[in-house]
């Protein structure tokens, strides 16, 4: 599950957008307490904007490749392993949907027009997280801080993705 919005100096009246995420990861042990975890994930990001009598929600679909360094924290139980993680991610936007509501009318459309081109396709971000593995079950939370402006061109507004993930999954050995 993702909770995302946009941030940056030029953002006004943005609120969180609920989204979906799914992916696969592989853990490469570098020692008893350290591992490298590359992932491949589909993530929905976006934001809601509200104004006088109108609202606009934007959902951006990304195929993303996060790579994180995982620090396993020593714990008394062999079945419970808490961990911290951090790293970077690159993403490719392949979907953008906009839902505009004004008065009693609602319009759903793909992003982009002659006046306002769709958001940039490439996204880069820093990723920070924490979680716990209970045997083969994995639970965690992660925050992604976008580094790439969503707009195009030299005069693009300072608007970047900000996403909080709640994660649950299983591992296979």
Residue-wise pLDDT for 45-68, tens only, equals: 999 888 777 888 889 999 999 999
pLDDT greater than 90 at residue 173? no
Q: What are the tokens at 86?
A: 């951090």
Greatest Cα-to-Cα distance within the chain, rounded to the nearest angstrom:
60
Instruction: Give dist(CA 19, CA 62) in Å, integer.
Output: 11
Question: Which residues lie below 8 Å from residue 32, measured CB to CB, with a gap of 6+?
Answer: 72
pLDDT greater than 90 at residue 11? no
Structure confidence at residue 129 (pLDDT): 97
Question: Which residues lie below 8 Å from residue 108, measured CB to CB, with a gap of 6+?
Answer: 97, 98, 99, 100
Residue 43: its H or E element? strand 34-51
Domain 2-170 CATH (choose: 2.40.160.20, 1.10.10.60, 2.60.40.1180, 3.40.50.170): 2.40.160.20
* C-alpha distances in Å from residue 69, one per residue of 6, 37, 39, 119, 161: 25, 6, 12, 29, 22
Structure confidence at residue 68 (pLDDT): 97
The DSSP bridge pattern shows strands 21-25 and 34-51 to be antiparallel
The model's pLDDT over 25-34, given as tens digits with 9 standing for 90+, comes to 999 999 989 9
pLDDT greater than 80 at residue 117? no
The model's pLDDT over 85-112, given as tens digits with 9 standing for 90+, comes to 999 999 999 999 888 888 778 888 888 7
Instruction: Give dist(CA 116, CA 164) in Å, integer.
Output: 27
Residue 40: its H or E element? strand 34-51
Whole-model pTM: value is: 0.86
The model's pLDDT over 118-167, given as tens digits with 9 standing for 90+, comes to 788 999 999 999 999 998 899 999 999 999 999 887 778 889 999 999 99
| Residue 168: HSE in the Cβ half-sphere, 13 Å Cα cutoff | 2
- 19 confidence band (pLDDT: 50, 70, 90): very high
């Amino acid at each position: 599950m993702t909770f995302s919005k946009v941030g940056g100096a030029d953002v006004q009246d943005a609120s969180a957008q609920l989204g979906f995420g799914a992916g696969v990861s592989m853990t490469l042990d570098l020692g008893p307490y350290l591992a490298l975890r590359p992932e491949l994930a589909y993530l929905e990001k976006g934001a809601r904007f509200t104004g006088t009598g109108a609202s606009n929600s934007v959902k951006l679909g990304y195929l993303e490749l996060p790579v994180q360094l995982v620090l396993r924290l020593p714990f008394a139980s062999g079945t419970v392993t808490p961990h911290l993680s951090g790293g970077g991610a690159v993403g490719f936007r392949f979907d953008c949907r906009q839902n505009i509501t004004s008065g009693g009318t609602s319009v759903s459309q793909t992003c982009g027009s002659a006046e306002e081109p769709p958001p940039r396709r490439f996204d880069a971000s820093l990723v920070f997280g924490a979680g716990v593995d209970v045997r083969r079950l994995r639970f965690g939370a992660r925050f992604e801080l976008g580094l790439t402006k969503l707009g195009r061109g030299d005069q693009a507004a300072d608007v970047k993705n900000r996403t909080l993930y709640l994660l649950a999954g299983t591992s296979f050995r």
